[in-house]
Amino acid sequence: MKNTFTMRADALNGVEAFLCVARHRNFRKAAFELGISPSAISQAVRALEARLGVALFSRTTRSVGLTEAGERFHARARPALEELLAAVEAARDMGERPTGLLRVAAPRAVMPVLLEPLIASFCEAYPHVDVEVAVNEELIDLASQGFDAGVRLGQFIAADMVAVRLTPPFRQIVVASPAYLARAGRPKRPEDLRQHACLRLRRSNGAIALWSFSDKGKSIDIAVSGRLVANDFPTLLSAAIRGVGLAQTPAPIAEAAIKAGKLERVLTSFAPMSPGVFLYYPSRRLIMPKLRAFIDHAKARARIETS
């Protein structure tokens, strides 16, 4: 049998008044502390006693004392109310300033290029926020898995998410090492890839990603072949640098290797445009200050880096 728990709306009514009277052993002093009239605090305590069906105070014209039931109620109600008030203050504090744990999900490919410097500067700017980054290639449900935000390529973000641009649009490029190109030749058109070893990406849903191209404004998707399959771009890029084959990756990921002469672009006139990388989070009426601070910090860095 399923157990259910409900709390009456008036369950806590009079408890604070009772505890205050018990502390002062005086109704007038308790009323002064709470900023209400002596008659109001007396009514609150009487209403509490009526709900409980037992007297909590023994009153005379000269003194106020706790009954046995009052002593027992006080022993358990005081620490419980103090803990509840502490919880309220903690929640209010998190709602007023950036604090607490910020959890972010991101693919490994964006870590060194984009997310590591962003996280480092954010931690320096907001010392009261702890940050946990989960590096995961899968497209996860942020809300159900307890994440505040995620970072992904724009084309993989669900329509019901709020997206904040982190990078300008960029091209999806095909790269290979000079050694591979010297050995296997340089493809001139996308259909030439049938004669090449292509390093393939397995998506989170298990499917092998098609390679996308743009030919005179027309989008072309090609199923390539090759012996190596991986589920992340850095692994494919490393294999391309070692001469295993051709790889199609976001341009920013391959930029450093291209500048170092480890990789060369091919099929550049067919490289399609990608919308870029975005920070995304569930649409909510109220956004916690820690997430709002991270969003604003990411926007500020994006403006500096694109200006």
Q: What is the pLDDT of residue 242?
A: 97
Same domain membership, residue 35 and residue 126: no
Rounded to 10 degrees, the C-alpha dihedral 43/45/50/56 comes to: -150
- The residues pairing with 104 across neighbouring beta strands, listed in sequence order, are 133, 149
Q: Which residues of the chain have pLDDT under 70?
A: 1-12, 86-96, 284-286, 304-307
Q: What is the pLDDT of residue 7?
A: 44
Same domain membership, residue 81 and residue 176: no
| Boundary of a domain, candidates 95, 130, 147 | 95
Residue 124 to residue 303: CA distance in whole angstroms: 19
| Boundary of a domain, candidates 95, 111, 135 | 95
pTM here is 0.63
Same domain membership, residue 215 and residue 302: no
Q: What is the pLDDT of residue 102?
A: 93
| Boundary of a domain, candidates 37, 71, 95 | 95
The bridge status of strand 149-153 relative to strand 100-106 is parallel
The overall longest dimension of the chain from CA atoms, in Å, is 105
Q: What is the pLDDT of residue 284?
A: 67
Does residue 32 sit within a domain? Answer: yes
DSSP 212: E
Q: What is the pLDDT of residue 95?
A: 55
What is the DSSP code string of 268-304? Answer: GGGPPEE--EEEEEE--SS--HHHHHHHHHHHHHHHH
Q: What is the pLDDT of residues 188-247, one digit of tens each?
A: 999 999 999 999 999 877 899 999 999 988 999 999 999 999 988 999 999 999 999 999
Give me the domain span that covers residue 296. Answer: 100-164+276-306
Does residue 74 sit within a domain? Answer: yes
Does residue 8 sit within a domain? Answer: no
Query: If you count DSSP H runs as helices and E runs as strands, how many of each does the chain have, helices first?
Result: 10, 15
Residue 173 to residue 211: CA distance in whole angstroms: 10
Same domain membership, residue 182 and residue 46: no
Does residue 153 sit within a domain? Answer: yes
Q: What is the pLDDT of residue 180?
A: 97
Same domain membership, residue 190 and residue 135: no
Residue 186 to residue 196: CA distance in whole angstroms: 9
Q: What is the pLDDT of residue 132?
A: 94
Q: What is the pLDDT of residue 98?
A: 84
State the CATH number of the domain containing residue 43. 1.10.10.10
| Count of domains forming the chain | 3
Residue whose pair of structure tokens reads 């023994």 in the numeric block: 58
The rounded radius of gyration (Å) of the Cα atoms in the chain is: 32
Coil, strand or helix: which one is 24? helix
Nearest Cα to Cα of residue 109 among 277, 290, 281: 277
DSSP 162: E
Q: What is the pLDDT of residue 139?
A: 75
Same domain membership, residue 65 and residue 26: yes
Cα–Cα distances in angstroms (integers) from residue 94 to residues 86, 87, 99, 104, 121, in the given order: 12, 11, 6, 18, 21
Does residue 10 sit within a domain? Answer: no
Q: Are 77 and 15 in contact (CB under 8 A)?
A: yes
